[in-house]
Amino acid sequence: MTAAVIDGKKIAGHVREKVAAAVSRLKSAHDVTPGLAVVLVGEDPASQVYVRNKHKATEAAGMVSIMHQLPADTPEVDVVARVRDLNADDRVDGILVQLPLPSHIDEHRVINEIAPEKDVDGLTEVNAGRLMLGKKGLVPCTPQGSIILLKEAMPELSGKTAVVVGRSILVGKPLALLLLAENCTVTVAHSRTQDLAGVCRGADIVCAAVGMPELIKGNWVSDGTVVIDVGINRIDAPERGAGKTRLVGDVAYDEALAHASAITPVPGGVGPMTIACLLRNTVLAAARRRDIADPKGL
């Protein structure tokens, strides 16, 4: 068997088209232009790239993008004050504080200052609680994008066994809850799980979100399994020349291709879905804040 490759770039493009159409309708029918504010503290190069990409994608979807760049030594109280200003700013429908924050700042404290109705990352206690309770809220972007890709390969998830490798707040835990909401039988595994290979072999769905390059080997993937690889790891690639690097996922992709029925590549799998789902959440937040029904088709 050779796996079908799930094209995250293409599917993210479809989500972004639907978002742009919903933005157009919000403008024409309600005179509302959704706005996304991104707060970046410090100069971490990877975060700067992510934030620039979010800015471009927000504008491309017809929304307003507001960037707040603060120096790395900004005191926590000043970051909190900035978030409170954005909560009160009516042009702003979504607020994203780029993580990680510098080590002198308590991330949890800052994230929880975001008004839940503007929390497009879905990371406040209120939105995490809603997800846990099965209530409508804003759902974290990467897990949401993972579910959309999974459904492309496996439209009927009910009753399937799913293993999530990784238990982070940003991905593993919310992804497990979303799979449970789809009536999957869910196992949450992690770096300390005993017989991780055996746990993975028993699953119809393997979602890898542990941040360890190529941890999951091809022979841990049973024939016919759908593999969603959330990992993005940069490793040395001396075969490409001195000092060169390349991106790999948490799954040994070439090996897994021979077993899986479908698999997401890295790059070009889950990555592009994160921004697409952020834009989607911003449109949903803009509508819900004004008691407008969720745009159709999103």
Positions in the binding site for ligand GUN (CB under 6 A)? 96-99, 121, 141-142, 170, 274
Q: Count other C-beta atoms under 10 Å from residue 12's C-beta.
A: 25
Give the orientation angle of helix 141-153 with respect to helix 270-289, to 10 degrees. 120
Min dist CB 175 to ligand GUN, Å, is: 12
Min dist CB 83 to ligand GUN, Å, is: 12
98 is catalytic: yes
Catalytic option among 18, 118, 119, 121: 121
Q: Using DSSP, state whether 128 is helix, strand or coil.
A: helix
Catalytic option among 18, 54, 118, 173: 54
How far, in Å, CA of 255 to CA of 1, rounded? Answer: 11
Q: Count other C-beta atoms under 10 Å from residue 266's C-beta.
A: 24
The tokens describing 38, both together, are: 């991104």
73 is catalytic: no
How far, in Å, CA of 42 to CA of 8, rounded? Answer: 30
27 is catalytic: no
Residue type at 19 in one-letter notation: V
Half-sphere exposure of 174 (CA within 13 A, CB side): 24
Q: State the residue number with the nearest CB to ligand GUN.
A: 99
Residue whose entry in the numeric block shows the structure tokens 């804003």? 138
Min dist CB 256 to ligand GUN, Å, is: 24
Please identify, using beta-carbon distances, which residue of 157 and 170 lies nearer to ligand GUN.
Answer: 170
Catalytic option among 98, 118, 160, 250: 98
Min dist CB 225 to ligand GUN, Å, is: 26
How many helices (H) and strands (E) in the chain? 10, 11
How far, in Å, CA of 289 to CA of 9, rounded? Answer: 30
Please identify, using beta-carbon distances, which residue of 102 and 218 lies nearer to ligand GUN.
Answer: 102
Min dist CB 149 to ligand GUN, Å, is: 16
> Which residues sit opposite 234 in a β-bridge?
247
Please identify, using beta-carbon distances, which residue of 203 and 207 lies nearer to ligand GUN.
Answer: 207
Give the orientation angle of helix 172-181 with respect to helix 141-153, to 10 degrees. 50
Please identify, using beta-carbon distances, which residue of 210 and 260 lies nearer to ligand GUN.
Answer: 210
Please identify, using beta-carbon distances, which residue of 121 and 182 lies nearer to ligand GUN.
Answer: 121
> Which residues participate in catalysis according to the annotation?
54, 98, 121
